[in-house]
Structure 1
């Protein structure tokens, strides 16, 4: 495991305008003057968090994934973020983990946001993934997943970094600010959470608040309100020292995730 340089991009997004978003993001990324291992973009970074799948979805290997590969190649790093993917007649809010050699991993958002009726349009993913980068084991998740600690739980295969990309609104930003430290502390993991800023097409305001927390909950990076492109480094010794000092993961109860049941199910 080596020190890991991470670039978070708390971006302003143009509503349902992939071409403009990709052009603006590329322009901003061109200002990077340091090497990095990982560039993290928000949820649905090419369109904003929209349910308009007819206009905004792409097939695998479409323009946005090609753009991600261009950026990964240019900066010789991994680029990650989510977009709407249409596959076999279904729609997914899919995180792509694009490497500079063109290989990629993917994670489909598991918890679909019912307040926006996301579950009526998208198909939920049914499995977590754990990805290795420079010896670090990384678990990527998407926005609403943050509210569900069982899905984020650090059990086999264990991870070192819990990563959330989001379009989290300012109206519930206090929840964001409380849940992220909880996930870091309970999982003895670095947590990196990248949000967007600005109003979307539904006049919902996003105030950012992207952050990185240590495995013991200390704030390494935090940025409210404004667009921000920021690079920082995390170190293995901080993870190792935290887990040696607080070996709480060894005492955790094993469990198996099962089918979610609604309150209506339980009352029948």
Structure 2
């Protein structure tokens, strides 16, 4: 299967971001992608986190989800929305949710981000818990014979998250990693998660200087189970692609049976 990661520098206006996503998804499909991953917050990098609260939609209903369903169906692809704002019982908060749409445009998977980012220094600070509800479940997506472990951004820092209910072949990491943390940690964390779980990993990132003044790191990547970077993009908007080779994954797990040799799990 050929998979693609979309890298965006999202703006504050939903319409502009959906227009950019449309173009980049089209480019991915023209290059043969069967599964496409969008970055976290592809729909909006707002002036403040409360801007995303205002865009929150009921699950399975709303313009963002309608766009995703129609796009998946139009292109006959599996489309994974890096994150969508899904309404919660608390009107001032939303779930940061990853959704899987099949080639018929039907939503077949939902993951609510479990780990909510917190960071602060003299120049910048973030506390997602002010506007987000944390998910409480680890789930997997199924695409044919491929099992996927969805995760979002800050989840990447918690290796135990990926060892629970093991059995997948691909990790998704849509992200809006800050430049401050990304320049030192992003590639290291991505390659480590792929190596220790002997699986493919696809990371779709936000990039560049945004209208709200924040800067994200970019550097979307697709990584194989040996930790090799198959495709990457620096800080421009665009698309990266690579093939998932199940024979290669099985060979690595057979030659180096680290997953079977675990003592603690």
TM-score (ref. length: structure 1): 0.88
Match of 2:112 in 1: 108
Match of 2:84 in 1: 83
2:77–2:103: 8 Å Cα contact kept in structure 1?
A: yes
Distance 1:191 1:29, change over 3 A: closer
Match of 1:48 in 2: 45
1:36–1:75: 8 Å Cα contact kept in structure 2?
A: no
CA RMSD of aligned residues (A): 1.7
Q: Does 1:131 align with 2:141?
A: yes
Which string of whole-angstrom CA distances, capped at 9 and with x for unpartnered residues, describes residues 140-160 of structure 1?
A: 10000001111122x434111
Match of 1:168 in 2: 177
2:220–2:233: 8 Å Cα contact kept in structure 1?
A: yes
3-state DSSP of counterpart to 2:188: helix
Match of 1:99 in 2: 102
Alignment of 1:132-147 (within 5 A): 132-147=142-157
2:231–2:241: 8 Å Cα contact kept in structure 1?
A: no
3-state DSSP of counterpart to 1:248: coil
CA separation in 1, counterparts of 2:53 and 2:139?
28
CA separation in 1, counterparts of 2:55 and 2:207?
20
3-state DSSP of counterpart to 2:23: helix
Candidates 25, 32, 35, aligned match of 2:21: 25
Q: How many residues align?
A: 250
Cα deviation, residue 231, structure 1: 2.6
Match of 1:64 in 2: 64
CA separation in 1, counterparts of 2:198 and 2:85?
31
Which string of whole-angstrom CA distances, capped at 9 and with x for unpartnered residues, describes residues 182-241 of structure 1?
A: 111111111111111122243121231111111111111121111111332121111011
* Structure 1: tracts of 5 or more residues without a match: 256-268
1:211–1:223: 8 Å Cα contact kept in structure 2?
A: yes
2:24–2:238: 8 Å Cα contact kept in structure 1?
A: no
2:8–2:207: 8 Å Cα contact kept in structure 1?
A: yes
CA separation in 2, counterparts of 1:123 and 1:207?
25
3-state DSSP of counterpart to 1:27: helix
1:130–1:157: 8 Å Cα contact kept in structure 2?
A: no
Match of 1:117 in 2: 127
Distance 1:27 1:191, change over 3 A: closer
CA separation in 2, counterparts of 1:5 and 1:121?
35
CA separation in 1, counterparts of 2:23 and 2:259?
42
